[in-house]
Amino acid sequence: MKSYNKQDFPVSEIRRFLEPGPIVLVSSKHRGRTNIMTMGWHMVMEFSPALIGCLISSGNHSHSMIRDSGECVINIPELPMAATAAKIGNCSGADNDKFKKFKLTAQDSAEVGAPLIRECYANLECRLRDDALIDRYNVFIFEVIKAHAPARPKYPKTIHYYGEGMFMVSGRSLNLRRYFRPGML
Ligand SMILES: Cc1cc2nc3c(=O)[nH]c(=O)nc-3n(C[C@H](O)[C@H](O)[C@H](O)COP(=O)(O)O)c2cc1C
């Protein structure tokens, strides 16, 4: 095993190690207007019902749109959309129609009013399940009520954010199923 020469590390920068799954594009619709924001801070909370916790800052235009409509779609982009995702996360829907600005296709969802982004690899239609943590932490707990994804590729080339404008792209897959107890898979 490798040994590391470690130094004191600023706790305010630990996101670099823990930044979770892929960045996603959250699409919403409220009072006839659509919007998109980029989001990296999310976590899976339960298999069934399929629950996801998402941090959506109150400074974002999307915050009130999603809170008031109680719905959104979590869209998972692949590598070719990386620059678009960065740009979407650096402008506000208060003064931009982001679908138009970034030439993305707003497709009707099956179960929610928010449109899904056709150009993304997968789309998770979400309903706000619990708002108890919104005021305190800006954390929205959603239930995914419908999901759309292609059969292939099974493991998409997702984009992950380190912070400081730096991204990682998912690459190698490892099959370690042999180490898993059946109930843990
Ligand atoms: C890579 C990346 C990740 C981001 N992750 C989050 C996040 O997890 N939560 C959040 O509230 N904002 C996040 N943002 C910032 C929002 O996407 C940004 O404030 C956006 O402009 C909000 O759009 P809106 O005002 O139209 O809702 C992220 C931005 C980028 C570029």
Q: Find out whether the beta carbon of 30 lies less than 6 Å from any atom of ligand 1.
A: no
Q: Find out whether the beta carbon of 37 lies less than 6 Å from any atom of ligand 1.
A: yes
Per-residue pLDDT reduced to its tens digit, 88-120:
999 999 999 999 999 999 999 999 999 999 999
Q: Find out whether the beta carbon of 89 lies less than 6 Å from any atom of ligand 1.
A: yes
Indicate the top mutation candidate among 34, 60, 92 to test ligand 1's pocket, ranked by most ligand atoms within 8 A of CB: 60
**Residue partners of 153: CB distance under 8 A and separation at least 6:** none
DSSP string, 67-134: HHH-EEEEEE--GGGHHHHHHHTTS-TTS--HHHHTT--EEPPSSSSSPEETTSSEEEEEEEEE-TTH
User: Is the model's pLDDT at 19 over the cut of 80?
Assistant: no
- Say which DSSP state 164 is in: T
User: Is the model's pLDDT at 166 over the cut of 90?
Assistant: yes
The answer to whether 64 touches 82, Cβ cutoff 8 Å, is no
Q: Find out whether the beta carbon of 23 lies less than 6 Å from any atom of ligand 1.
A: yes
pLDDT of res. 148? 94
Ligand 1, atom 16: closest residue by C-alpha: 89
Spacing of C-alpha 12 from chain mean position: 22
Mean pLDDT of 132-152: 96
Ligand 1, atom 13: closest residue by C-alpha: 39
Per-residue pLDDT reduced to its tens digit, 20-63:
689 999 999 999 999 999 999 999 999 999 999 999 999 999 99
The answer to whether 36 touches 117, Cβ cutoff 8 Å, is yes
pLDDT of res. 13? 80
Q: Find out whether the beta carbon of 161 lies less than 6 Å from any atom of ligand 1.
A: yes
Instruction: Report the chain's mean pLDDT, rounded to a whole number.
Output: 95
Per-residue pLDDT reduced to its tens digit, 56-86:
999 999 999 999 999 999 999 999 999 999 9
CA–centroid distance, 172 to ligand 1, in Å, is 27
- Name the one residue in this structure whose structure tokens are 């009520």: 145
pLDDT of res. 61? 98
pLDDT of res. 18? 76
pTM (2 d.p.): 0.95
pLDDT of res. 171? 84
User: Is the model's pLDDT at 15 over the cut of 80?
Assistant: no
